[in-house]
Amino acid sequence: MENKIINKLQIENFTGETPTAIEQDFYATMYLDNMVALAKKDANQVIEEEYKEKGLKYEYKVNTNVLIGKLKDTLITMISTNNPWKRSRMLKYIEKEIERNVIPIRPDRRFERKNHKCTQMVNRINEKRAL
């Protein structure tokens, strides 16, 4: 969980310097994290049922990076839309996209990664990868 919040959602990367901007970024990121967790749980259940019948070699799960990207693109529009029909269409679109982008769970897959010290990307303001 800590890895997802720090690396994928980039909780330490703020879009402003004022305390209000930092607080808004924090709460928006936590809200997005909760939405990601709920959507991932639902999508993983659907994927498990769908792929169980196929008898595939690996189990599959939702690609979290795709889920974060799709949610962050449509979340503000979904929240601000007053039309419930539009909101449900957006939610169904997101569900369809994340169920389409699955990754296999490969057991015993552990490779050491090279540690590259990149000083250019440390604490850059207004530049988030997923958000």
Average pLDDT over residues 21-27: 85
Measured in whole angstroms, the distance separating CA 74 from the mean position of its chain's CA atoms is: 12
Residue 96, CA distances (Å) to 30, 100, 119 in order: 24, 6, 38
Average pLDDT score over residue span 70-81: 85
The answer to whether residue 36 scores a pLDDT higher than 80 is yes
CA proximity to 96, closest of 123, 67, 75: 67
Q: Which amino acid is at 48?
A: E
Mean pLDDT over 1-30 rounds to 75
State the amino acid at position 45 in one-letter form.
Answer: Q
pLDDT at 20 over 80: yes
Q: Report the distance separating Cα 25 and Cα 54, nearest Å.
A: 42
Per-residue pLDDT, 85 = 93
Rounded to two decimals, what is the model's pTM? 0.70
Q: What angle in degrees, to the nearest 10, is found between the helix axes of 84-100 and 64-80?
A: 170
Q: Tens of pLDDT along 79-128?
A: 888 999 998 898 888 888 888 888 888 888 777 767 766 655 555 555 55
Proportion of the chain above pLDDT 90, given as a percent:
3
- State the CB neighbour count (10 A cutoff) for residue 9: 22
pLDDT surpassing 80 at residue 9: no
pLDDT at residue 25 is higher than 80: yes
CA 126 – CA 113 distance, rounded (Å): 28
Give the Cα separation of 104 and 114 in Å (integer).
Answer: 23
47: tokens are 């994927």
**Predicted local distance difference test score (pLDDT) of residue 118:** 62
